[in-house]
Amino acid sequence: MNKLPGQILKAPEHFLSQQDIQTVKMQTPQGRRDFLSRAFAAAAGITATATAVAQASPEGDPNILNLPAHATGLGQGVASPAYGNPSKFEVNLQRRQSPGLTQTTQASVSFAPLQSLFGIVTPSGLHFERHHQGWWDIDPTKHRFMVNGLVKTPKVFTMDDLMRLPSVSRFHFIECGANSGMEWGNVAVPTVQYSHGMLSCSEFTGVPLITLLEHCGADLKAGQFVLAEGGDGSSMTRTIPMSLIKSGEVMVAYGQNGEMLRPENGYPLRLVVPGVQGVSWVKYLRRIELGDKPYGTKDEAIHYIDLLPDGTHRQYSGIQECKSVVTTPSGGQSLMGKGFYNITGLAWSGRGAIKKVDVSFDGGVNWKPARLESPVLSKCLTRFNMDWVWDGKPSIIQSRATDDTGFVQPSIKQLREVRGTRSIYHNNAIQSWLVQESGEVKNVQVA
């Protein structure tokens, strides 16, 4: 029996009893191969109930014994509409609005269904959305992009102008600074879609911003910051330091996952600022101004800043620190019974590549390294997997990521010690999922 650390906090509707905590049992497999053989042995040993990973025999299963219509008849011709859609059986795979968020006149946030996604790329139609004043489908022939400020020749580009220039394609995550924000206040939202779903990852294509600035004769000595301005009515303007831009990573992007950006993600042009919170990835990008100091715009003065315990604000804290989350099993899901499971999740860091992800099944007492799946890219989602045999007892599953700067993802307790409890933004704490005896998984906090 393990002793779990500290006090367990929970959402009011998901009470975690002391008894649950006491009965969480640890798993200490010796190595993967040994583990797997024992895993399947364990699963086979519980044959009486349907807990093995597959049915033992096909006898009596009409779905394997009888030829279905699709094996004997003629299928359909090429897909119509010509732009393909998911299977009709996948209708539950949707972006969703959080039931816990205040609704304004129109919905302004939709969350990506992380619990149902594989690998690292977010399908464009499931990319999360955050609109400060609604989205637009802008005519690309009328869209203009201007570069001005500390440049020799201010210029206005059309989309055709931009698409003639040398382009790059790179995979990056985007995470809203408010992702997991509800967890600060110990409001454990029910599913990973709502706790972590303001996170997506795409292959972006565009022109490095530094190329455009140099093209306009930028003063790279005096010019220390740029202002990025969006074309929608939200006056979404953000300051971005030239140090990020000079690295060549910041991109004026028109492509997303092999096609043009989706309207809700900024069509026809958005800024891609790898590693930095989503708000700086200005959509419907229409202007870049080069200046010698931070601009302190409205969204930089009152939003996306962190109120610290001493009453001061942490400002320009835009880099999304190292973070991870187990996406299956996660809140709202139910395990089908004892036996083997693939634990899977995502890890990312705004400072570089993921080096390691450890997983705990006992609320953070013992940790074991997960397998990182390739590719492992800088400022990009990394997929991790791990084998697990569930013994049917309550368990608290957590993941803890380390990036290549050596930064280790903190617990919510460690984070609160430094940042207090009054933040909304920049919560990169370890996430805890309680697997109950019934198999139901709930969002809890181990603090």
Ligand X SMILES: Nc1nc2c(c(=O)[nH]1)N[C@H]1C(S)=C(S)[C@@H](COP(=O)(O)O)O[C@H]1N2
Q: Please, are residues 350 and 275 in contact by the beta-carbon 8 Å criterion?
A: yes
Report the nearest approach of ligand X to the CB of residue 93 (Å): 17
At closest approach, how far in Å is the CB of 261 from ligand X?
8
131 binds, among ligand X, Mo ion, none (CB under 5 to 8 A by kind): ligand X
Question: What CA–CA distance (Å, rounded) separates 41 from 236?
Answer: 57
Q: Which of residues 143-182 bind Mo ion (CB under 5 A)?
A: 176
Q: DSSP letter for 215, please.
A: H
- Closer to Mo ion by Cβ: residue 40 or 295: 295
* Cβ 23 to Mo ion shortest distance, Å: 40
Write the DSSP assignment of 248-274 as a string of letters: T--EEEEEETTEEPPGGGTTT-EEE-T
Listed ranges 47-55, 107-115, 272-280, 361-369: which one lies at the site for Mo ion (CB under 5 A): 272-280
Return the residue of 130, 170, 172, 379 that touches Mo ion, per CB under 5 A. Answer: 130
Q: Which is nearer to ligand X, 110 or 344 (CB)?
A: 110
Of the candidates 65, 321, 80, the one whose C-alpha atom is nearest the C-alpha of residue 180 is 321
- Rounded distance, CA 66 to CA 74, Å? 17
Q: Letter for the amino acid at 156?
A: V
Binding interface with ligand X (CB under 6 A): 127-132, 176, 230, 232, 234, 236, 264-266, 278-279, 281-284
Q: Does 273 bind Mo ion (CB under 5 A)?
A: no
For residue 266, the minimal CB distance to ligand X (Å) is 6
Q: How far is the CB of 283 from Mo ion (least distance, A)?
A: 11
Instruction: Give the residue with the Cβ less far from ligand X, 162 or 176.
Output: 176
Residues 6+ apart with CB under 8 A from 149: 223, 226, 227, 288, 289, 290, 291
Single out the residue of 376, 254, 225, 241 nearest to residue 319, CA to CA: 241
Residue 413's binding partner out of ligand X, Mo ion, none, with CB under 5 to 8 Å set by partner kind: none
Q: Is 278 in the site for Mo ion (CB under 5 A)?
A: yes
Of these, 279, 282, 325, 396, which contacts Mo ion (CB under 5 A)?
279
**What's the closest the beta carbon of residue 109 comes to Mo ion, in angstroms?**
8
* C-alpha dist (Å) from residue 51 to 46, 63, 116, 283, 350: 6, 20, 22, 48, 40
3-state secondary structure of 317: coil
Residue with the CB atom nearest Mo ion in the bound state: 176
Q: Where would I find the H helices in 30-182?
A: 32-44, 62-65, 69-72, 159-164
Q: Segment contacting Mo ion (CB under 5 A): 83-91, 126-134, 328-336, 406-414? A: 126-134
Residues forming the site for Mo ion (CB under 5 A) = 130, 176, 278-279
